Amino acid sequence: MASYNIGILGGDGIGPEVMREGLKVLKAVADVEDFSYDLIEYPYDSEHYIKTKELVPDSVIDEWRTLDAFLLGAIGHPDVEPGLVERSVILGLRFGLDLYINLRPIKLYAEHLCPLKGKGPADVDFTVVRENTEGMYSQIGGHLKKGTPDEVAIVNGVYTWKGCERASRYAFELAQKRAADRGGDHKPQVTLVDKANAVRPQDIWTRAFASVAKDFPDIATDHAYVDAACMWMIKNPEWFDVIVTTNLFGDIVTDLAAMLQGGMGIAASGNIHPGRTSMFEPIHGSAPKHAGKNVACPLGMVSSVQMMLDFLGETSAAARVETAMADLLGSGDIPSADARSGIGTSEMGDMVVERLRPD
């Protein structure tokens, strides 16, 4: 029986609550499928920082590289300088483990969750491949004459051929896999989203994407500038299959896209380096105003657990979690995937677990 070492960090705000439900689902699915796991819990949330002033030490990043996978709840605390703990934990994982793909599936399970008029599950089913280690997140830049009227702030967008190439390749391979899974008349397509008209150096993406596309003659290619892509996502989400884009644009368009599938409460992500330790987290933040009230929607976390199982090769367990979620959402028992659903965080976790068990 396969066994996995999984690092966990509940984090701030609603993070620990949704993590509990994700782990509840993991345990329940492990009971009916053929795998086991050990959890290694890490303390590096913002409360830990407030108490100890300690951020994630390099030695711990080294330890994380030896795990099979990592689950993260959420990071972000009103009493800590914005971005400090996020950079340490989230970017520590993404950059430290070279998790160069941020995979964000956008899949609508039930029409009532979609805010778009006349769109249903057949229209909203695409995946965003967000480059995850470069771009405007590269932390190269700084301030000059800070705090004076002459202040200058510079941030560099870093795009390497290697980064654009490997993200594009992942997107094409994913399109191939989606076509194989869906069969029938599903036509695979990869859309490059950038802003290479105004930000000319982004044409490195245009060229890297085109060079990878040559290896995938059966996959259609498309291109949209990021502003237009936002418009198309609302107008015709069914046009998208796989999107590949830069780190910052991927961050932005996936909040928008998450709304199409029911909101931030349900959107999941995988921070992936194929074949290496990878990290899975809901895309929502720590939502301090909802923390500790048992109102946060845990489905983004549950779906992140599903993505982790799929990544670990536990495809039957992953499918079981997805089916349970799809059944639950399809039943109409969940009016919305957010804090106003009227269903408690732990109760929603229980509802998923009930549907996991074979009858």
Name 198's Cβ contacts closer than 8 Å, sequence gap at least 6.
Answer: none
**Coil, helix or strand at residue 35:** strand
In the set 251, 314, 322, 338, which binds ligand IPM (CB under 6 A)? 251
**For Mg ion, which residue has the nearest CB?**
251
CB of 267 to ligand IPM, least distance (A): 9
Beta strands in 195-277 (DSSP E): 220-225, 242-245, 268-272
Say if CB 299 and CB 322 are below 8 A apart: no
> From residue 146, how far is each of 142, 150, 151, 157, 337 by CA, in Å?
9, 8, 5, 21, 43
Per-residue interface string for the shown chain with Mg ion, residues 243-272, x marking contact by CB under 5 A? --------x---------------------
Site string for ligand IPM, 74-103 (x = CB under 6 A): ------------x---x-------------
Site string for ligand IPM, 128-147 (x = CB under 6 A): --------------------
Q: How far is CA 317 from the centre of its chain?
A: 19
Query: Does the annotation mark 255 as catalytic?
Result: yes
CB under 5 to 8 A by kind: which of ligand IPM, Mg ion, none does 192 bind? none
Q: Which of 227, 289, 293, 333 is catalytic?
A: 227
Q: Which of 25, 114, 283, 317 binds ligand IPM (CB under 6 A)?
A: 283
195: annotated active-site residue:
yes
Q: How far is the CB of 157 from Mg ion (least distance, A)?
A: 17
d(CA 51, CA 76): 15
Whether residue 241 lies in the annotated active site: no
Provide the minimum distance between the beta carbon of 45 and ligand IPM in the complex, in angstroms, as a whole number. 13
DSSP assignment letter at 91: I
Helices (H) and strands (E) in the chain, counts: 12, 12
Residues that bind ligand IPM (CB under 6 A): 86, 90, 251, 283
